[in-house]
């Protein structure tokens, strides 16, 4: 089943490449997040998470980002040294997270659900736990996380 899913996903990526290139050159927001969506993160982002395995919280957009606030505050109040990585799908969600939520060690765009992208992102961050705050399903992300022994929890799904 994953073989068919991944084949179709790679085909969709290939077919949509002209649109990616158009968006890449016409919209600055796409350009900024493109490398992160491919699992390439800045040195500052990686350094912010060194020292402890992080908790990776995924919030798709603004609504989920806002709903993550009490969760993040609760984790940080109980475990102040715990590193927290928050990922979003949208630029607006990312901006809201950076501006209004304290206690987040890094905010990134969620990686594309391609096996090689997901593996790279998980390897770079080595999360101890992944919390998904939405009902979007990312088969490769969930499958690879579980295969690596990383617990995945869906809240409000």
Q: State the DSSP string of the chain.
A: -HHHHHHHHHHHHHHHHHHHHHHHHH-HHHHHHHHHHTT---HHHHHHTTTSPPEEEE--SHHHHHHHHHHHHHHHHH-TT--EEEEESSHHHHHHHHHH-TT-SEEEEPPPS-HHHHHHHHHHH--SEEEE-SS---HHHHHHHHHTT--EEES--
Tokens of 33: 């997040």
Catalytic residue selected from 64, 73, 95, 136: 64
Q: Which two tokens stand for residue 39?
A: 């699992």
Closest CA to 141 of 53, 125, 156: 125
Catalytic annotation on 64? Answer: yes
Instruction: Give catalytic residues, as residue numbers.
Output: 64
């Amino acid at each position: 089943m994953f073989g068919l899913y991944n084949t179709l996903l790679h085909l969709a990526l290939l077919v949509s490449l002209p649109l990616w290139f158009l968006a890449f050159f016409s919209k600055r927001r796409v350009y900024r997040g493109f490398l992160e969506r491919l699992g390439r993160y800045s040195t500052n982002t990686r350094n912010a998470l060194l020292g402890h395995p992080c908790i990776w919280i995924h919030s798709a957009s603004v609504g989920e980002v806002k709903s993550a606030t009490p969760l993040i505050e609760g984790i940080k109040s109980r475990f102040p040294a715990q590193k927290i990585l928050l990922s979003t799908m949208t630029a607006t969600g990312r901006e809201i997270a950076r501006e209004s939520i304290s206690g987040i060690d890094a905010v990134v765009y969620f990686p594309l659900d391609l096996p090689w992208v997901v593996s790279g992102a998980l390897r770079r961050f080595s999360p101890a736990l992944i919390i998904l705050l939405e009902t979007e399903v990312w088969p490769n992300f969930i499958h690879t996380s579980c295969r690596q022994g990383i617990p995945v929890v869906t809240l409000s799904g």
